[in-house]
Amino acid sequence: MSLLEHIHGPRDLDRLTQAQLGRLAAEIRAFLVAEVSKTGGHLGPNLGVVELTMAVHRVFDSPTDAIVFDTGHQSYVHKLLTGRQDFSHLREKGGLAGYPQRSESVHDIVESSHASSSLSWADGISRAFQMTGQDDRHVVVVVGDGALTGGMTWEALNNISDDNSRKLVIIVNDNGRSYAPTIGGMARFLSDVRTRRSYRSLYDKSRAFFGMFGGPGRALYRGLRGGLHGFLSRFSNNEALYSNLDIKYIGPVHGHDERAVEAALTQAKNYGAPVIVHVITQKGKGFEPAVLDTADQFHAVGHIDPETGEPIGGTDRPSWTSVFSEEIVTLADADPTIVGITAAMLIPTGLDRFAAKYPARVFDVGIAEQHAVTSAAGLAFGGLHPVVALYATFINRAFDQVLMDVALHRAGVTFVLDRAGVTGPDGPSHHGMWDLAILQVVPRIRLSAPRDATRLREELGEAVAVQDGPTVVRFSKGNVGAEIEAIRRTDDRVDVLFESDGQDVLIVTVGPMAELGLQVAERLTAQGIGATVVDPRWVVPVPDSIIDLASQHRLVITIEDGIRVGGIGTRIRQELRAAGVDTALTELGLPDEFIDHALRSEIMEQVGLTPQHIARDVVAQVLGSRIPIARPLDESADQRA
């Protein structure tokens, strides 16, 4: 009989024996491999926190005790233990989210999955509990070692240590990795703790000593090992990092020894003040393909074979990331001043090929986007051209640095924003939908959005040639679509993709929205409405030819995969007014709201960014406003659009 199917909440763990807990851990790993291989998701991180999560829920009482994950991609086991065991639609519309989500369960606290924020949350929650007399409540943070590379973590620790009376337990889940191996001084410190001979040799010798007495000796060792870890930690001088912060340190603890973790957490809970518990885990634990994958240990997977770990399905078309990855190496071959910077995402952003060929020219700064951007400004001052590769959602974290350190100083820095627009399964914290609105307010910035692989290569080359200010190249998640050739290019390098008889509607598309714009134009043309489709390529500043074309049409439609509020459409509207052009304009894009996880196609349907929906609205607008058109319009056209 499966133990997992009888776990409906954390307190169901209390009745299990140590032997049953071991069986449950094995069942959870088997469940994760079987289910995540069907839907995709963060497999490696969750295989690594099985015993750790079980121990957390046995020692603490969620939701009375608040549990915060940093980042939330390591919360699948938490979901299983809090009664959410239907993973059949994980990260799909209507199914479980890939991160904690308050609407799913009272056990979920923090939904945002931008790293390094958990200790600030914990500081605030624990202060609130203290100030409102909720003295029976603890705050527990499970923070990945990679998140410790973010400056916000250390800002929070500084304040947590200022008040030593709160019930706060910080669990450092140390697997030596974020996506790929964690880098920097913090990583070296934790590695030293993991391998320090004074700790490891005593621990191993103790285990060997008790093992000499056979089964009874091993049983005695298992009963003592929690205390043994605590005893040995006193001699490992690991408190050095935290001594000046006045935060108690426990560890390191074997993260796959549930009893040892439970003993350490119980000790921390009883302390009644902020405590750091250092737990050593293995990412991908129990799934050989993940363990053997030294690159990212199956951090995030698509559909895979649960036996071999090999991808299933897919397409022959290259990904946007891979096109960038190849082109940046080509550009770096020709220009030795080009250097790369990323924030703990060397592989996901495609800088790994650049790093493999030119290791001295690529810098992974850890989960520290603010530092990455200002460091880039310094590199530019020194005569280099930095290419900062981030996910679009994470540029939000470094806006001040883009504005004040790069743009104000006219630094030649190129930002390459992967996963721009609607990303789909990862949900609201990972949609790259704010970058266009946020960044276009930066003076002298240049923003480009390639529509296909050829334009990505072209615009990236143009971007790194700019030396007097920031440039941005943004592109989508997933595979590149078909090549879309222009029928002509204007003098200021705007691509005209489609022209029909008559100049009724000008459709201005941003990046991959070009395909959608062409589909809309075909529908309008079929209904007797003349349409022109253009791709500005560089959407900010607005090219003069866009203003000229707008003045020649009766209606302008802008289509972008960023939010409408303050988006590219708004910028074009302002430029039209400044130029005295009174052509009507409609901005189409994403609503200013947080969009749940679903397939990209489902989200586009939900927000009305489909050919049928847009064409119907345009026809209705033309009919409703009686905008004159080049050819007579069938009054029933809006029904057929």
**How far is the C-alpha of 327 from the C-alpha of 322, rounded, in Å?**
9
**How far is the C-alpha of 266 from the C-alpha of 212, rounded, in Å?**
29
Q: Give the closest residue to 260 by CA, choosing from 206, 223, 232, 219.
A: 223
**How far is the C-alpha of 20 from the C-alpha of 13, rounded, in Å?**
10
Cα dihedral 193, 197, 202, 207, rounded to 10, equals 80
3-state helix, strand, coil in the chain (%, to 5): 45, 15, 40
At 404, is the secondary structure helix, strand, or coil?
helix
**How far is the C-alpha of 481 from the C-alpha of 475, rounded, in Å?**
12
At 323, is the secondary structure helix, strand, or coil?
helix
Query: Could you tell me which residues come within 8 angstroms of residue 30 by beta carbon, excluding any fewer than 6 positions away?
Result: none
**How far is the C-alpha of 506 from the C-alpha of 529, rounded, in Å?**
11
At 338, is the secondary structure helix, strand, or coil?
strand
**How far is the C-alpha of 617 from the C-alpha of 370, rounded, in Å?**
42
Q: Which residue has the tokens 């082109």?
A: 327
Contact 277, 269 (CB under 8 A): no
Sequence letter at residue 22: G
Sequence letter at residue 601: S
Residues involved in catalysis: 283, 369, 397
Whether omega before 315 lies within 30 degrees of 0, making that bond cis, reads no
Cα dihedral 6, 7, 8, 14, rounded to 10, equals 120
Contact 434, 396 (CB under 8 A): yes
What is the DSSP annotation of 490-503? -TT-PEEEEE-SS-
Buried b (16+ CB within 10 A) or exposed e, 549-565: bbeebbbbbbbbbbbbe
Instruction: Using alpha carbons, list the distances in angstroms from residue 349 to 179, 180, 388, 587, 633.
Output: 11, 12, 10, 30, 48
**How far is the C-alpha of 183 from the C-alpha of 367, rounded, in Å?**
10
**How far is the C-alpha of 115 from the C-alpha of 182, rounded, in Å?**
13
∠ at Cα 475 (474, 477), nearest 5°? Answer: 140
Instruction: Output the six-digit token pair for 637.
Output: 């056209």
Q: Give the closest residue to 323 by CA, choosing from 294, 345, 295, 353.
A: 353
Q: Give the closest residue to 165 by CA, choosing from 195, 139, 144.
A: 139
Contact 33, 306 (CB under 8 A): yes
∠ at Cα 409 (405, 411), nearest 5°? Answer: 85
Q: Give the closest residue to 118 by CA, choosing from 97, 144, 81, 137.
A: 144
